A and B are shown apart, each in its own frame.
Chain A
């Protein structure tokens, strides 16, 4: 091993430490019996910040810290997130697929314009999409709420499936489609039997990406939400508590980190290997 690659290894190690330290601290604070969350002031191990999410009313009422939290509101916001995602995901898959097909198949001089148009929501700052949706629907008499959140999120989330689907669509030999036509299949059957099954892996990963993007979205949602809330905005407002918020957020964060880690491992070692 030569000098430069040794240096590179050390640098990578530092980078990973920088990357993971905040998250490890977050996880450590999630099991510390100290509110607001702290790692410096160790008060003993506890799992109560986790139990907040499932413990009975009585248990929560008996705890000084947990008592002050509004679990029902949290659950309501979480349910809102799921509602929004359950509409945004299929909507963005459909729009993304339409976009991917158009950009792949349409061969006109307007193509580069279409590229800009359909990718601009992904590039544009999230808040812009939120506030423009807000104003647009206000003019139609629709008040800000879950509906505007869905519209605003769909605007930019559709671009992700579009890119993923397009990458796969371009790998499909166009002869497949011609072969189906030649054997007497109409365009709809060909799409249903040949193109759609071919796109399935791309659709599956698009759905995951779209779901995550929808649930975690904060910037766009903050502008479009009106009086409603989602998981992300709720966490956002908890986190902004100037006196520090009880570590239930750390507990949730720890859960997300572990879940994501597992997902990343599965993706890397199973899915990618199959892909090669």
Chain B
């Protein structure tokens, strides 16, 4: 099995009711890559998957697999295999028949089919389960049957449509590693659709973040997390605090463009991600883990400092979420429970603290849409 590259050239999909699910999108996915498309539900990620698998004809543009256009080729003739959100295992066939179905469709002899199915069941650690019906398996086992079934047709591209969403948290985390290792072993190109950033960040070589039918940013997990290029990406991936203001100056600090925003809290400085200019409206994002709390009320610095009153402390395990009230706004800070010496180090509620952050950790992006984070405040 070898992976193949995929190119989307100017793909757009418009449904008969006029809804544009995907808008003029270009995408290049390298052969053998674990590529995730991350976005909230309704952003068009599943639509992209359907066009690649051939269940949906794009309204404009074309798709190349391994450099070859695949327009008009039916799903059953494409070198892709799809793993459905609900897995779509055939309920009346045994596990091995499920796995061997693709071979059956290609007219492979029964003994060969069975042998191949056993091999794949070995790969996904399901030996001994071949004669069971899918309904007799656990959630994780079903998951692996679906993967084995898709791999049986030796696809060059495996398309996964939120396959882990039905599993519970523990199993989901376990399956992440499994999927990743299967991908490594087979070197098939994986296109993984998810709304769960944890899945995308842990497994992928590269991630595309989608919103409203458009790809906002493509990059490695680190790039997406640390260098968001839009307000949507910054707010959708990971947690963050944001402030809106006007840029009052752009300076160059050792080759890094730093923008300063004027905000009622004071001047806030961060890395200029979009080449913004003085006078532009901008958003500055600061991740909770980048805010530093100090007790001693030193003289206020010029920028990147404000005073907040701790209103609530939620213990998360290794760290706590601290909610500060800063001039009427709530700001969340991740705070380690123990300091470097291992002494419990917990701020007190209803006390005032000084919050600071480094300009190199803050990101300034142009104004745009924010993801609804669902964060509890």
Q: Which residues of A contact B (CB under 8 A)?
A: 173, 175-176, 178-186, 189, 193-194, 197-198
Q: Is the CB of B92 within 8 A of A182?
A: no
* Count of chain B residues with a beta carbon within 8 Å of a chain A beta carbon: 27
CA distance A185 to B101 in the complex (A): 8
6 A-B pairs with least C-beta separation = A183-B102, A175-B88, A185-B105, A179-B88, A184-B105, A182-B82
The reply on B250 being an interface residue by CB < 8 A is no
CA distance A178 to B87 in the complex (A): 11
Which of A179, A184, A189, A198 interacts with B92 by CB under 8 Å? A198
Q: Is the CB of B88 within 8 A of A183?
A: no
Q: Which residues of A contact B152 (CB under 8 A)?
A: 183
Q: Is the CB of A184 within 8 A of B106?
A: yes
CA distance A194 to B101 in the complex (A): 10
Q: Which residues of B contact A (CB under 8 A)?
A: 53, 55, 74-77, 80-82, 84-86, 88-93, 101-102, 104-106, 149-150, 152-153
Which of B76, B81, B89, B91 interacts with A185 by CB under 8 Å? B76
Q: Is the CB of A179 within 8 A of B82?
A: yes
Q: Is the CB of A183 within 8 A of B53?
A: no
- Chain B residue at minimum C-beta to C-beta distance from A182: B82
Which of A178, A180, A186 interacts with B101 by CB under 8 Å? A180
Q: Is the CB of A183 within 8 A of B76?
A: yes
CA distance A189 to B86 in the complex (A): 22
Q: Which residues of A contact B82 (CB under 8 A)?
A: 178-179, 182
Q: Is the CB of A183 within 8 A of B101?
A: yes
Not counting A175-B84, A193-B101, a sample of 10 additional A-B residue pairs whose C-beta atoms are within 8 angstroms of each other reads: A173-B86, A176-B90, A182-B75, A182-B80, A183-B102, A184-B77, A184-B153, A185-B102, A189-B105, A194-B90
A-B contact pairs, 19 of them (CB 8 A): A178-B88, A179-B82, A179-B88, A179-B90, A180-B90, A181-B55, A181-B74, A181-B76, A182-B53, A182-B76, A182-B81, A183-B76, A183-B81, A183-B105, A183-B152, A184-B106, A185-B105, A193-B104, A194-B90
Q: Is the CB of A183 within 8 A of B149?
A: yes
Q: Which residues of B contact A198 (CB under 8 A)?
A: 91-92
Q: How far is the CB of A188 from chain B (nearest CB, A)?
A: 11
CA distance A175 to B102 in the complex (A): 15
Q: Is the CB of B92 within 8 A of A197?
A: yes
Q: How far is the CB of A94 from chain B (nearest CB, A)?
A: 21
Q: Which residues of A contact B92 (CB under 8 A)?
A: 197-198
Which of A178, A184, A198 has most chain B Cβ within 10 Å? A184
Q: Is the CB of A186 within 8 A of B88?
A: no
CA distance A173 to B102 in the complex (A): 19
Q: How far is the CB of B109 from chain A (nearest CB, A)?
A: 16
Q: Which residues of A contact B84 (CB under 8 A)?
A: 175, 178-179
Q: In the complex where A178-B82, A198-B92 touch, is A183 in contact with B74 (Cβ < 8 A)?
A: no
